[in-house]
Structure 1
């Protein structure tokens, strides 16, 4: 009887060690539809920064373009959800907003301004 208790106890003890905790991964700028709705052409860079926060990426070669990226992967999911928002400025005012991860996803080609 005793010889059965020790292996059963070890199996229970090691079984608890095998479960791995996976962390939810969230990176980038969290941007809601309400925040996007507040954007209007003609807003200054500081007004846009107030609404959306500082952009994750500012391109040295395209200073009139701000890119906001967001990635979320749940703890039990293998793949995550990613979003991208590109803002184009002209003369330090907002000219256009492009949604999506793929060029032409919403019917427009992202400008290279």
Structure 2
């Protein structure tokens, strides 16, 4: 009798521990860190642009070269749920006058699927003067 109880307890323990080793059961959010870089914005950075134009387009860089102040590093680290993190580094070099002389992107950025995802315009259908049933004044 005691053997059956121990055996069933062991089977139950092993079955519960087997369930906990299954990957992708717990939801993990996507974690972007650093400067959010989009391929369309990075493509707009051209030689001859000023410091202010680059900063307006891409934002404040993560790192400015401490020795010369003429090299800006935009670092974007993206970790999607259970995938390994991907790092993209965009380097912008300026000359003494503060204009872009060289740009370098270490690897191509992923394309954004939907450009208008966050710019949704909500339109109201029907007559705007028509009041709903609960507004009686």
- The answer to whether the superposition gives a TM-score over 0.5 is yes
Per the alignment, residue 81 of structure 1 pairs with 86
Pick one of 27, 32, 36 that aligns with 2:33. 27
Per the alignment, residue 69 of structure 2 pairs with 63
Superposition deviation, residue 32 in structure 1: 1.2
Q: Aligned pair in 2 of structure 1 residues 64, 32: CA closer, same or farther (>3 Å)?
A: same
Which of the pair has more CA radius of gyration? 2
**Which structure has greater strand proportion?**
1
TM-score, normalization by structure 2: 0.56
Q: Is the 8 A contact 1:22 1:76 kept in 2?
A: no
Superposition deviation, residue 36 in structure 1: 1.5
**Structure 1 unaligned blocks of 5 or more:** 1-16, 102-113
Q: How many residues align?
A: 100
Pick one of 46, 51, 56 that aligns with 1:45. 51
Per the alignment, residue 134 of structure 2 pairs with none
Distance 1:76 1:27 in 2: 16
**Structure 2 unaligned blocks of 5 or more:** 1-19, 108-137
TM-score, normalization by structure 1: 0.67
Partner SS for 2:61: coil
- Cα RMSD, aligned residues only: 2.9
